[in-house]
Structure 1
Amino acid sequence: MKATVTPHGGLFGPESITWRIHTETPGWPAVLRAFQLQALHPRTIRGIAQNCLLDDPEVARARLRRQLDFVTVRTFGTCEQAEQAGERIRQVHARLIGLDTDTGVLFRIDEEENLRWAHCAETASYLELARRSGVPLTAAEADAYVAEQRRSARLVGIGDVPGDVAGLRDHLDGMRPHLAATEEARDALRRTVSPRLSFRLALRTPPLAFGSLPAAGALAFATLPGWARQMYGCRGDGAAGHAADLALRALRAAAMAMPDGLVEPEIRAARGLMRALAKAPGTGVAA
């Protein structure tokens, strides 16, 4: 589904902090960072691994692509498009179960704890990458972004999610005793930084795209919280984080300088509406 971008018909709009962040932040690193963080929740990653053939490179890449597409539709599309996309996801989640191999207990994929963790990991990832990419955000605007993302959470069936940065940080910290770098998590991480390409996928992939996913995955990993990298067995590396910041700022600068014809249609349309709003007298960004 292609998002239909309008000034007033969606969940957010040109005055929102969400549009600013999602038109300026590199999408692939944000999605991959969210997945790497989500994978540290044992039930979350087991539910994904047991219901999705992640060992198939085409399936794994398609899943990440669908997640990025869902973010695009709910961010820039109409309310109807966002609701339709959310309904599809709720229907898929409702019929899937996973097995907790530590306890032998079956669980629903749409358990609130799993969904809330996935939402918070994604929200934190987009916000972190926006800041590290150089998107100018005040503390109040960062809070506003977290609050706006409660609308995204409702699409997948959860309402009790943090509404500001402090609440988001508290949730992530509170979940740490329940997280672990399981075998499934480590395997998921490997697939984001060193994906295997099948022969069929390789034939359909433009040559310049071969290195894009590993590079984005490495960038994403370097921006994870220190405790998350340590769970995965990596010591804190300030140099890697600094290099990631420089790369992300360069990516953002290059993306913002691209001719409109080379920009994704939804991003191009959203930027046009934001520019028009900025030129109108007496307008500003909504908090």
Structure 2
Amino acid sequence: MDPVAMIRQRIGSALFERVAGEEGPDRRERIWSSTGERRFGPDSAIFRVHMDASMFVGGIRALLLQSLHPLAMAAVDQHSGYRGDPWGRLQRTSGFLAETTFATIEQADQAIAVVRSVHDRIEGVAPDGRAYRASDPHLIRWVHVAEIDSFLRAHDRYGAQPLDAAGRDEYVAQTAHIARGLGAVDVPETVAELDAVLADYRPELASTAAARRTARFILVHPPVSLAQRAPYSLLCAAGVSMMPRWTRWPLRLPYLPVTEATAVRGAGIAMTSTIRWAMSATPATG
């Protein structure tokens, strides 16, 4: 095999193993070999966004943004074990995205049912004394809108083929089906509605010790090897650069507009292009 092709395949396989985990190959086989009607086709907006390497940047932004809701953050901090098993949480999330986007309708609905049953068992009291339930439609909607806003913005900036205005609305509408399946209500179906819903949540968002710990864990003390630290840091910088300015101080994030518009953006393009190149040497993601 050509040495360049070998390197490409090695990088792609390592990325897939890290993101998909030990169950990744079996899940990939199950998703792509199963026969049955699928909710979304290869030309759909959700398919294009969730298949793209820009998801690596969008995922980092989503985690940071989601952490600003004190009740949602309390649920994650007290129940998810993300610090003890961060890669396991990533792999479960990537598996859910793959199943609900690419799998048959039956498989996708089963994945939604499993997550919903987990949410039904999670409840507690936040440090500020307020009770929370992971099944709360309001919190599910927050997690959803923070996530899809991040994925869409990352795709706008780093995607191989950014969507036009109609495609962006299509993406929001298609992801709304999944959010409703998880129990969210009043889910946005256009970009304008998404922007409005995000703005409505802003008075509820706040800096908490758990949110700041999460940001430090993701950005400063990540569970990656020394060799992986440099490329991971570039992806993190790209994710931080896309955070709204008003989120920077609550999460203690830097704000360097000139550097973010030049060096960071260039590094983000280089990293996502490299990931896209490497992952295309492996079978379809799962």
| Normalised-by-shorter TM-score class | 0.7 to 0.9
Residues 145 and 187 (structure 1 numbering): CA distance in 2 closer, same or farther, change over 3 Å?
Answer: same
Partner residue, 2:101: 75
Taking every aligned residue pair, what percent have the same amino acid on both sides?
30
Partner residue, 1:62: 88
Cα distance per residue 1:82-138 (max 9 Å; x no partner)? 111111111111011121221x23221111111000000110011000011043321
Partner residue, 1:245: 265
* Matched-pair contact (CA < 8 Å) for 1:192–1:214: no
Partner residue, 2:244: 225
* Matched-pair contact (CA < 8 Å) for 1:17–1:144: yes
Residues 236 and 7 (structure 1 numbering): CA distance in 2 closer, same or farther, change over 3 Å?
Answer: farther
| In structure 2, distance between residues paired with 1:213 and 1:28 | 10
Residue 151 (structure 1) aligned with residue 177 (structure 2): yes
Partner residue, 2:3: none
Unaligned ranges ≥5, structure 2: 1-26
2:195 counterpart letter in structure 1:
R
Q: Secondary structure at the match of 1:107?
A: strand
Partner residue, 1:125: 150
1:37 to 65, 75, 81: 65
* Cα distance, 1:52 vs structure 2: 2.4
Cα distance per residue 1:142-180 (max 9 Å; x no partner)? 111111111221331224210111111111111111101
1:4 to 4, 9, 31: 31
* Matched-pair contact (CA < 8 Å) for 1:25–1:129: no
Unaligned ranges ≥5, structure 1: 268-287
Q: Secondary structure at the match of 1:150?
A: helix
* Matched-pair contact (CA < 8 Å) for 2:173–2:190: yes
Q: Under a length normalisation based on structure 2, what TM-score does the superposition of the two structures give? A: 0.80
2:217 counterpart letter in structure 1:
R
1:246 counterpart letter in structure 2:
G
| In structure 2, distance between residues paired with 1:50 and 1:155 | 24
More divergent stretch after superposition (124-133 vs 12-21) = 12-21
Cα distance per residue 1:48-78 (max 9 Å; x no partner)? 101123442xx12311221122112211111
* Cα distance, 1:208 vs structure 2: 4.3
| In structure 1, distance between residues paired with 2:119 and 2:259 | 36
* Matched-pair contact (CA < 8 Å) for 2:234–2:271: no
* Cα distance, 1:13 vs structure 2: 1.0
Residue 48 (structure 1) aligned with residue 73 (structure 2): no
| In structure 2, distance between residues paired with 1:224 and 1:106 | 28
Residues 11 and 213 (structure 1 numbering): CA distance in 2 closer, same or farther, change over 3 Å?
Answer: farther
* Matched-pair contact (CA < 8 Å) for 1:18–1:148: yes
* Matched-pair contact (CA < 8 Å) for 2:58–2:151: yes
Residues 178 and 212 (structure 1 numbering): CA distance in 2 closer, same or farther, change over 3 Å?
Answer: same
Q: Secondary structure at the match of 1:266?
A: coil
* Matched-pair contact (CA < 8 Å) for 1:31–1:67: no
* Matched-pair contact (CA < 8 Å) for 2:37–2:104: yes
Residues 159 and 112 (structure 1 numbering): CA distance in 2 closer, same or farther, change over 3 Å?
Answer: closer
Residue 265 (structure 1) aligned with residue 284 (structure 2): yes
Residue 176 (structure 1) aligned with residue 176 (structure 2): no
* Cα distance, 1:248 vs structure 2: 2.7
2:97 counterpart letter in structure 1:
V
Partner residue, 2:122: 96
Partner residue, 2:255: 236
Q: Secondary structure at the match of 1:114?
A: helix
